Every structure is written in C-alpha cells, then in structure tokens.
Amino acid sequence: MPCTTILVGKNASYDGSTIVARNEDSGGTNFCPKTFRVVQPADQPRHYTSVLSHVAIDLPENPLRYTCVPNAVGDEGIWGAAGFNAANVGMSATETITNNERVLAADPLVELRAAQGEPGQEGYVPEMPGGIGEEDMVTVILPYISSARDGVRRLGELLETYGTYEMNGIAFSDVSEVWWVETLGGHHWIAKRVPDDAYVTMPNQLGIDSFDLNDAYGEQRDHMCSEDLRTWMAENHLDLTMRGDGAHFNPREAFGTLSSRDHIYNTPRAWYMQRALNPHQSWDGADAAHTPEDDDLPWSQVPERKISIEDVKMLLSSHYEGTPFDPYGSGSAADRLRYRPIGINRTGHLAVLQLRPYAPGACRAIQWMAFGCNAFNTLTPFFANVDTTPAYLAETGAHASTNDHYWTNRIIAALADAHYQSTSSLVERYVRKTMAAGHAAVHAADKGVAALLATGNGSDEGSDAERIDATTPARAEQKAIARADDQVAAGTGMGASDAVRRALAQVNETIAQNLKAETDKLLDDVLYASSLKMRNSFTLSDH
C-alpha cells in the first residue's frame, strides 16, 4: 500500500510513550473500506493460506488475543494492518518501499506462478505459491510475539522460509523500543531500532540510511539482519560505500532507489514532516539545506520539541500547508499539483499505536483510529485490552452508508474537499472537540482501571461501568501498575481480569457513541455549507 509512517522513540514523545503511526492508503484510484476488530485465540487460524499468493503456513497453537484493522471486504484477504496483542506489543504492516534492480536480481521476489497445463497431462507444471505479503503479516506474526525484538525475529524467520512477493517496511513496538524492518528482495531484510530521542519519517521508499553490521552480528543493540546479509552483499557487490570498512554502510544507497518518481511521490512527504518537527533548520528557498526532492533527507532526527498525538495527526493529515505545494492553497497550478500529499483522498485508515509506560499494563495500549481522508477526519483513542470493538467501527459495510464511521467520513471528505475554505473551520472544531474528549476519557478510564486492579482485578461489588469512573489515590495507582507489570512479566498479558476488559470495552463504546454524535453533526454542518455553494444556486427566492 502507498502509505506514510511516523515512528517516535519514547524520549521524543510528549509522555514517554513509544508511538507507531501509519496511514494505510489504497493504490491508484482504489478506495478500501476498513474495520477495527479484535481477534480471539479461538478464532485465529491454525493453518493459514494467503488469498493473493496462495502460500500455506502452519501457525503455532498458542496465539494471543489481538486487535487489527482488516479490510471490510475480504476478497483480497485479511490485511490486518495494525494492532496490539495481549502482551502489549504493537505491529504496523506495511509501508510499501522500493528496492533497486541490483537487489531484485540478487534475490528475486517470490511471486505466485500459476499452474501450466492440466494434472496428469504431459508437460504439466503445478502452481508455485508466492511468499508472504502485506495481506498476511499481522495475522501470522502479531499473535505470537512477546516484544518488538521478538516481532523482528519472527518476521525474519518467515521471510527467510517463505520469502515475499513485494517490498515492505514493518514496525514493531513495545513499551521500551520501536523497531523498523525493511525487506530486501525475496528473502533478505534489515532492521534498525528507532533512537529513543528521535523520530522517523517513512514515505514509500527504502529509508534506513546507516547500518552497523558488527552490531547486527554481535550485540544487536540497534541493528538486526538476515543471517547471510554480509556475504550476500559482498557476492552481489551491493555496498556502494567509498573507502568503507566493510561494516558501516548506507542501506538507502545500497538497496534503495533514487528516481524521479521518488522526487515527486516520496521524498517531499519526508521533507514536509521533518520541516514541521525541526522548523529552525533550513527548508525553504533557493539556498535551503533540505529541499522536497533531496535524496539524503535523514531517516531519523531529534525533534526540536517533544511530539504529541496531535502532532502525529497533523502530520499524517497534511497537504503541504504553508507552502506553494498545498492543493488547497494559493500557489501556481503547477505547484499545487507537483507533489503527492500525505493526507491523500484514498486513505483507508490511520492507526496510531501508543504504549504508555506510566499506565497500568491493563490499559497501557491505546490504539488511536481515524478512517477515510485524514484532512477531514478526527483521531480517536480506543483501549486495546478488550474482547470486542464498537460496532460503529467494527461493522463497516461494502457500500456507502452513514451507519458506520468509515463511510460517514468518506462522505464528509468528498463534500468538504470541493468547498475547502467554507468547511475547514468546521473540521478543525470537530477535531479539537473530539480529540479533547478522547484524552479526557482516557484519563478517567486510567483511574478506574487502577481502582479495579487495586481491589483485586475487579472483585469488589458494583458494576464495571461504576468502578471504571472511580477516582484512585496515587499510591493505589502505583500498586496497580506494579501488579499489572508483574502480570505482563509472567506472560499473562494485558490485565488478567475479565472485569477490566469489560470495563474498557464499555469505555470504548461510550467514546464511539460520542464520536458518532459529533461526526453526524459535522456531516450536517458540512452538507449545509456545501449546499450553499452549489453552482446552481440563485439568491432571489419567493420568501
């Protein structure tokens, strides 16, 4: 998928969280309805077969519960996209990236080959399944990992065993680390840990710009790779480093692309995001140190200030505001159409995976969700430690409707886009109100969860909904956090209590009900404003 990713290390975020965020954008002129669901261990397949590549994989017998954002229409498979498992591990898959011709020649992609002829006939060649791809990755990885590093290792094993038919970047997170994996050809891969005090911007191209093979083959503090990467690179002359030491190299130069397509489709997105997070660097004008078409924009940077959830939403909704390249701006016609926006019309969803170190393990994972075009939607928090998700997000239909969140946002965006100046203030107020309400709901729920845990995982009397609204002294909260951390360490996952999960599901339902009310109101307001601007209007009337 032609997506955009932002990764934030724990010391670069506003509250010490690790943050993984990605727009999932449909390709070309496609629009893909998405849903937000929970998969229980009993519903996880034990034998998995890909729809697109036909690869068959036997899966372990002990899957964890996990959230995901699958396609609403399953004709092309699951496409689970992003979620958390019951061990507080997050995964976002995938960002489509690029490999150069030398890499693809050295390790060709593993593509599905159709059968030739008929069985039993002379010359019959059976079907050759392809490797794994974006369709499969969340399903075959997320339920089976206990840390971000564990996710890197499982993905690496699958790539080396089955291969892949496409080039992808994949993110894994836990409360301490964020890791980024990039695939190389059919079976090879590299992974790098996001620096704790930095952020990473990823458009649709191979992005890692420095790699330490000694670390990858040694301590693996910040780097991991496929087992034979060093010899494979040497045999195929992939390292382009001048006067190198054989250990440190630039993967973007060795494995990636530097094409004119990158300059209009990919690098401008990284330029704009970094321009916003490091505004005092030189970004604009003829003498700018960094331009939208630079091939050497850094993979990671330390931001000038800590990054909030609102910053992530703004960046992944952006369309080059404040530059000549804004399609809604006042630049020339050529400039306004020059670069591919981040907040593009064909976004299916945005998932922001936040792991909060100060929260009890039972409510540590927040999956912020937005559906449709980000320039006209909002970002809403949902707790991941639940058994079900609200119908408003889980029951997306195949066709346009105002009964679910995805399609309502699509309708709003189509109306508002044509009348951007008249409707943008309406969208801004909607975003501010709903995100403030979301933060407030999370704060209240944290206190309620601490109360449940402090009283023995919800064994006290009273309904879950009543207990979730309770206030809790700081000392009790700290005891609850310690107990929840012990549960995670013991492998029991995010909060052993059914009461906690039920209570958080009720919180999510309340958040969704408020979201629906505000989204319906925005639809009313945008429809009214857009109707006034119809070209067949006439000021004179009978009344």
Cross-strand partners of 204:
none
CB 342 within 8 A of CB 319: yes
* CA pair distance 433, 437, nearest whole angstrom: 6
Instruction: Find the angle CA(504)-CA(510)-CA(511) to the nearest 5 degrees.
Output: 90
Helix (H, G, I), strand (E, B) or coil at 382: strand
The CA-atom distances, in angstroms, between 399 and each of 200, 344, 375, 392, 407 are: 36, 20, 22, 15, 8
Question: What six digits make up the tokens of 349?
Answer: 């969803």
* CA pair distance 15, 358, nearest whole angstrom: 9
The yes-or-no answer on residue 32 being catalytic is: no
Q: Which helix (H) or strand (E) holds 465?
A: helix 464-468
- Largest interatomic CA distance in the chain: 83
**From the CB of residue 366, how many other CB atoms can be counted at a distance below 10 Å?**
24
* CA pair distance 37, 348, nearest whole angstrom: 15
* Residue 181, φ and ψ in degrees, nearest 5: -110, 135
CB 133 within 8 A of CB 52: yes
Given 3, 68, 225, 363, the catalytic residue: 3
* CA pair distance 96, 77, nearest whole angstrom: 17
**Beta-strand relationship, 188-193 and 178-184:** antiparallel
DSSP 344-374: -TTEEEEEEEEE-TTS-GGG-EEEEEEES-G
* Residue 439, φ and ψ in degrees, nearest 5: -60, -45
* Residue 95, φ and ψ in degrees, nearest 5: -100, 115
Residues with catalytic function: 3
